[in-house]
Chains A and B, each alone.
Chain A
């Protein structure tokens, strides 16, 4: 795929702007909403935005996935020059490993937060954070 400069600019701005907008929407939901489940939903949306941002920072135009598949290294001796030539066209694997960790940890955080929400509801019979005043339970 050969991108012209114009297309490149459009894609660049659209990915970053989308990630920032999703982060803003998630933070707005987490800060403004009264319902505790809505707060956790806002944090989850925030998480998605950050993941998109990190992956799109590591992208390289018309790059391939960082996998040396059999089709890629088929009739090519594995010398240092060949590997360097192949790896010049690969996207950055470091943010991908980071986001892989972040998604799994985010799920654990969401599960613990939701179990705390269930426990609070069982005690107070409400989820409004204005009515949950006493911190001791």
Chain B
């Protein structure tokens, strides 16, 4: 017990010293390369793709296949959590949180719920213009459902609707990728007109994919919270 602690602390000390030494050779707040991949992204995004937010362009367009994998990992996490925790069908009201909130809490959450959903939708529709995007918007929507699930003891979300929304969003993502392939190029090739910078309808396939990702992430995380919250020991 004592020995293990000493061992771990000495190991961490060695690791920390090496990490510190390696990092302090980098200059903080300075560019490391004269001509890096950063410059290519920063010039190509507003010139060719007509997208204002460069991070969105990297996540959806330049590294779009990674995003498909990421969404798949999130889907697998939801599925694994549901199958690990499965104990049979739940009855209504058989919930970890068995009581409703007070009148103030329920009225306040009913008041806030549409505003939170609207904020989430705004964040993922404007993902290519302002900070935000599909993942952030989806998480905000899941937070709104979490608020309702915590406030009301008998609030329930239909699993069928969630899986239909999730599947449709996933199919949209894959179909757009395949359409790019049909259009004569690689998977997730940009085939729509780009428009002009800082317009809502600009950026080719980026807004469509990010809206699909927003629906998919929102449905997945809502399902995950619902599974965990319905878990009764």
Could you list which residues of chain A lie within 8 angstroms of chain B, going by C-beta atoms?
8, 11-13, 15-17, 20, 23-24, 27-28, 31-32, 53, 56-57, 59-61, 63, 65-70, 73, 78, 80, 83-84, 87, 90, 92-94, 96-97, 100-101, 104-105, 108-109, 111-112, 115-116, 118-119, 122
Q: List B contacts of A96 (CB < 8 A).
A: 55
Q: Is the interface of A mostly helix, strand, loop or mixed?
A: helix
Q: In chain A, what residue has the closest Cβ to B233?
A: A122
Alpha-carbon distance A60/B106, docked complex (angstroms): 46
A66 with B55: CB separation less than 8 A: yes
Across chains A and B, which 9 residue pairs bring their CB atoms closest together, nearest first? A12-B28, A108-B77, A61-B29, A87-B42, A66-B54, A97-B58, A93-B54, A115-B81, A115-B84
Smallest beta-carbon distance B207→chain A, Å: 16
User: Of B1-9, B145-153, B167-175, which binds chain A?
Assistant: B1-9
B interface, size bucket: 35 or more
Query: B residues near A, CB below 8 A?
Result: 4-5, 8-9, 12, 15-16, 19-20, 23-24, 26-31, 36-39, 41-43, 45-47, 52-55, 58-59, 63, 66-67, 70, 73-74, 76-78, 80-81, 84-85, 130-131, 135, 197-198, 217, 224, 228, 231, 233
What residues on B are CB-neighbors of A115 within 8 Å?
80-81, 84-85, 228
Instruction: Among A24, A69, A115, find the residue whose CB has the most chain B CB atoms closer than 10 A.
Output: A115
Do the beta carbons of B85 and A118 come within 8 Å of each other? yes
Question: Given known contacts A16-B23, A24-B12, is B63 in contact with A67 (CB within 8 Å)?
Answer: no
Most buried by B among A11, A28, A73, A104: A104
**What's the minimum C-beta distance from B51 to chain A, rounded to whole angstroms?**
8
Most buried by A among B4, B28, B46, B66: B28
Q: Cα distance A11–B228 when bound, in Å?
A: 41
Contact check: which of B19, B31, B52, B78 meets A68 at CB < 8 Å?
B52
A-B CB contacts (within 8 Å), total count: 142
Given known A28-B8, A96-B55, contact A73–B28 (CB-CB < 8 A): no
Instruction: State the CA gap A1–B131 with chains docked (Å).
Output: 23
B80-A93 in contact (CB<8A)? no
B31 near A60 with CB under 8 A, answer yes
Complex contact B4–A32 (CB within 8 A): yes
